[in-house]
Chain A
Amino acid sequence: MSEALLELLPSVLLEGLLLGCVYAMIALGYTMVYGVLGLINFAHSEVFMVGAVAGVEVYRYLGPHVENPYILALLALVIAAIISGGLAMGIERLAYRPLRKRGSTNRLVPLITAIGVSFFLQDLVRLIEGLWHGEFYMNFPADAQMEALHDLPMGMSIQNKSILVIAVAVIMMLALDHLVRRTRLGKAIRAVAQDLPTASLMGIDPDKIIGRTFLIGGALGGIAGVLFGLLYSQINPFVGFVPGIKAFTAAVLGGIGNIYGAMLGGLVLGTIETLGGTYLFFLTGGALGNEYKDILAFIILVLLLLFRPQGLLGKTQGEKV
């Protein structure tokens, strides 16, 4: 029995890596916005969901015309990134900025606004999809070429679409790292995150930089939505909630405000969850089944807040964004 479980381990870890990539991509959006505004943008889970829905629509309308599944997936990723990025920027412009301009220092107000935006978007998408296609559940169509398996050592095997997920996530994270560390925009984002009033005295327009931060975080969230759809096929307008809250946990796990923390936290959380989902049943002699895996993320969140509230990579005075 235990030998069989051990043999499973590499495959489980690979599965965890895939899930972790999705969490990390979503977590980046939470952590970047937190970095510049100190706001937990709970509407980000819906930015992710809208990305997944945009992906479904690309498959629905462009699928019949595009032969190559990789080109189709890339189209879905790019279009979802644009739509989700634009949506995130729109949310900031319409919902958060007016509150900020009013100069309220109460941090609950934007937080509750974020939750409201989240509900609003869930039902708006449900309404639109209901009227447009009469659908609640939406599917990313299966493609034989994308699902083709490659054998790896140690009894692992990997599908083409999984390779795509890892490649996209790695490229996006490297690109983000380059952007934040090397470019003029990245330096401005870090400056605003560290000290907004001083950044503005350097001729940096904080509103513009905050908008760009939402754009980048939203685009990553939209890409994560398509990756999620590719991996798990079926989505619906409420699909954002659980991955969203887990990605938020991942961001806190890594140290909120720290982009490398979000990447690490996502991978760690994805791995733990997949391990739990596989082994919990056996370890508890069948008392706890696979359905309890979701609880693991939140147990981790509770333990973390108790023992290391600054997160894995967070320092009390750590670098934000």
Chain B
Amino acid sequence: MALLDVQNLTKRFGGLIAVNDASFSVESGQIFSLIGPNGAGKTTLFNTLTGMYRPDGGRVLYRDRRLSGLSPERIARRGVARTFQNIRLFGAMTVFENILVGQHPHIRYNYFDAIFQTPRLKHAEKRAEARAHELLEYMGLSDRAFDLARNLPYGAQRRLEIARALALRPKLLLLDEPAAGMNPQETDELKQVIRRLRDDRSITVLLIEHHMSVVMEISDRVVVLDYGKKIAEGTPAEVRNIPAVIEAYLGKGALEKPQ
């Protein structure tokens, strides 16, 4: 059974069709990549999947239930988390607080607990804090826990975004260009992290990435978008030899031999 089933999804902005009749399905446990040239509609697709945009056509099923049309917070609570191409941390909060915000739906207590500081509340807070520390440890951010998020170096901010997304305890994690701006060493570490997410935590990953080395090494399956349309799908090895893909990336005529 597919974890995420995208069926004929369309999103328009005025006359521009940003996502055009796109269909694909992501199986549980896959690392699934979306690639395509700039402006191909990848981020728009993410925004539509996470409820930030309403689709103009088609639908999205997640664990066989309709996801399209729900509000972002409902979708997040169903277990779909994401990161952003341009990092969107809560910069004026500490690293630790960013993780706690990510756990918002999982910290449960009521006003009675809050006013009378009941053991239930203390217990819920303790658990949330322990989990936050565990996630920071997992993403190698423990020593920066009480720094403001905006003061972290770039690579650490990217890791914090992933940690915050994990705080939601997602089944499906959408990563929007996580390797953007990373140096080769950080990129290698990122590959390990993404693999570990899948292997240790059974999180299915839907990835937008421009670094071809990341896509080709870790993806189980790749979909290629161009002008909002799906132009190819397959394993990394299959996709990289499809003429339409090469053309989309390098322009028409790239395959013709120079005279």
B93 contacts A187, C-beta separation under 8 Å? yes
Q: Kindly name the residue among B52, B93, B101, B168 whose own CB sees the greatest number of chain A CB atoms within 10 A.
A: B101
A104 at the interface (CB under 8 A from B): no
Which of A183, A191, A200, A320 lies in contact with B114, CB distance below 8 A?
A183
Given contacts A198-B88, A198-B90, A201-B50, contact A206 B97 (CB under 8 A): no
B199 at the interface (CB under 8 A from A): no
List residues of chain B with CB within 8 A of the CB of A205: 71, 73
For the complex formed, measure the closest distance between the CB of B168 and the CB atoms of chain A, giving whole angstroms: 6
Q: Which residue of chain A is the closest to B148 with respect to CB atoms?
A: A319
Instruction: Please provide the chain A residues from 235 to 256 with a CB less than 8 Å away from any CB of chain B in the complex.
Output: none
Q: How many residues of B contact A (CB 8 A)?
A: 29
Which of A200, A202, A204, A318 lies in contact with B164, CB distance below 8 A?
A202
List residues of chain B with CB within 8 A of the CB of A190: 90, 92-93, 97, 101
List residues of chain B with CB within 8 A of the CB of A202: 73, 76, 101-102, 104-105, 164, 167-168
B97 contacts A194, C-beta separation under 8 Å? no
Give Cα A206–Cα B71 distance, bound, in whole angstroms.
10
Give Cα A202–Cα B168 distance, bound, in whole angstroms.
7
Which of A184, A188, A203 lies in contact with B76, CB distance below 8 A?
A203
A199 at the interface (CB under 8 A from B): yes
A204 contacts B92, C-beta separation under 8 Å? no
B107 contacts A184, C-beta separation under 8 Å? yes
List residues of chain B with CB within 8 A of the CB of A183: 114
Query: Do most interface residues of chain A lie in helix, strand or loop, or is the interface mixed?
Result: helix
B81 at the interface (CB under 8 A from A): yes
Instruction: Please provide the chain B residues from 61 to 104 with a CB less than 8 Å away from any CB of chain A in the complex.
Output: 71-73, 76-77, 81-82, 84, 88, 90-93, 97, 100-102, 104
For the complex formed, measure the closest distance between the CB of A225 and the CB atoms of chain B, giving whole angstroms: 22
List residues of chain A with CB within 8 A of the CB of B51: 200
List residues of chain A with CB within 8 A of the CB of B168: 202-203
Instruction: Please provide the chain B residues from 83 to 135 with a CB less than 8 Å away from any CB of chain A in the complex.
Output: 84, 88, 90-93, 97, 100-102, 104-105, 107, 109, 114, 128
Give Cα A194–Cα B101 distance, bound, in whole angstroms.
12
Encoded as 1 (CB less than 8 Å from any B CB) or 0, chain A from 194 to 225 comes to 11011111111110000000000000000000
For the complex formed, measure the closest distance between the CB of A78 and the CB atoms of chain B, giving whole angstroms: 13
List residues of chain A with CB within 8 A of the CB of B164: 202
List residues of chain B with CB within 8 A of the CB of A184: 100, 104, 107, 109, 128
Give Cα A306–Cα B76 distance, bound, in whole angstroms.
44
List residues of chain A with CB within 8 A of the CB of B100: 184, 187
B101 contacts A200, C-beta separation under 8 Å? no
Which of A185, A191, A197, A318 lies in contact with B93, CB distance below 8 A?
A191
Q: Which residue of chain B is the closest to A318 with respect to CB atoms?
A: B92
Q: Which residue of chain A is the closest to B101 with respect to CB atoms?
A: A191
What are 22 sample pairs from A and B whose C-beta atoms fall under 8 A apart? A183-B114, A184-B104, A184-B128, A185-B114, A190-B93, A191-B90, A194-B91, A198-B84, A198-B90, A200-B51, A200-B71, A201-B50, A201-B72, A201-B73, A201-B76, A202-B73, A202-B76, A202-B101, A203-B105, A203-B168, A204-B73, A317-B91
Query: Given known contacts A187-B93, A320-B92, what 14 new A-B pairs fall within 8 Å (CB)?
Result: A183-B114, A184-B128, A187-B101, A191-B93, A191-B101, A191-B104, A194-B91, A195-B88, A197-B52, A198-B90, A200-B71, A201-B76, A204-B105, A317-B91
